[in-house]
């Protein structure tokens, strides 16, 4: 999971570099995940090294998932980042952010999916027929992106359109989504039979602490 999180961060950095050089270059970043192209920078070489490490001992399920789910999702992410960098407006009101969220979730699912019963359900994952855990991951990822875009709005204004800048996301919507993720986390604890009050409070406190830790990292420029 740590390697995959680092991979997602490197893709984000490469996209930042690529979008500065034009839409076509940004849309090609996902090709690096095939480990076929010759790297043209230390960052590209680092990404390909991570990919080789991630895939060194992958299962058959992971091999198929990488090709049929993860790569297409990452390609879409790169294409939509290119559209955002070109100043296009996302008709969905998401500021071209959803593709990146979906790609990140699919990347994480590559790591953990086979451990939680998805080995025979790859097609359902591809169709985005997500279970409750995946839906919670999607909401928490969206919440993190909303917070990040709110903090970065002055920085984003000259270079890309975001849902914060267009007014499609508001502080009230961020607050409402946070409350929903807390409620849904409670439901997940119920679903998994976690009834001990102390343990439940620990999970909820850790989640809230994570949000504040991430917010501080965004404000300080540590988080991408």
Per-residue pLDDT of the chain (224 residues; tens, 9 = 90+): 888 888 888 888 888 777 766 666 777 787 878 756 777 888 888 888 888 898 998 888 889 889 888 999 998 998 888 888 777 888 888 888 888 888 988 888 888 877 765 555 555 555 556 778 878 888 998 898 899 889 988 888 877 778 888 888 899 999 999 999 999 999 999 998 999 999 999 999 999 998 988 888 887 766 55
Residue 105 lies in a domain: yes
Q: Is 49 inside any structural domain?
A: no
* Environment class of 125 (CB within 10 Å of its CB; exposed 0-12, middle 13-18, buried 19+): buried
Identify whether the C-beta of residue 113 lies closer than 8 Å to the C-beta of residue 146.
no
Structurally, how many domains does the chain consist of?
1
200 token code pair: 């439940």
210, part of any domain: yes
Using only the alpha carbons of the chain, give its radius of gyration: 18
Instruction: Indicate whether 54 belongs to any domain.
Output: no
State the sign of the Cα–Cα–Cα–Cα dihedral 176, 180, 181, 183.
positive
Contact yes or no for 211/139 (Cβ under 8 A): no
Q: What pLDDT shows up at residue 174?
A: 93
Domain span holding position 127: 60-219
Q: 204 in a domain, yes or no?
A: yes
């Amino acid at each position: 999971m740590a390697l995959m999180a680092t991979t997602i961060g490197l893709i984000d950095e490469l996209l930042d570099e690529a979008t500065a050089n034009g839409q076509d270059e940004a849309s090609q970043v996902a090709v690096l995940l095939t480990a076929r192209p010759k790297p043209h920078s230390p960052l590209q070489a680092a990404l390909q090294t991570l990919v080789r490490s991630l895939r060194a001992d992958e299962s058959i399920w992971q091999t198929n998932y990488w090709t049929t789910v993860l790569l297409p999702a990452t390609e879409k992410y790169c294409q939509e980042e290119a559209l955002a960098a070109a100043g296009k407006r996302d008709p969905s009101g998401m500021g071209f952010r959803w593709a990146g969220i979906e790609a990140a979730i699919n990347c994480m699912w590559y790591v953990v999916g086979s451990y939680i019963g998805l080995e025979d359900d790859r097609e359902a994952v591809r169709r985005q027929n997500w279970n409750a855990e995946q839906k919670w991951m999607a909401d928490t990822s969206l919440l993190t992106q909303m917070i990040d875009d709110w903090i970065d709005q002055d920085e984003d204004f000259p270079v890309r359109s975001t849902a914060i800048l267009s007014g499609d996301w508001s502080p009230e919507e961020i607050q409402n989504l946070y409350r929903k993720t807390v409620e849904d986390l409670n439901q997940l604890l119920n679903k998994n039979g976690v009834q001990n009050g102390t343990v439940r409070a620990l999970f909820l406190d850790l989640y809230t602490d994570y949000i504040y830790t991430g917010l501080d990292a965004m404000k300080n420029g540590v988080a991408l």
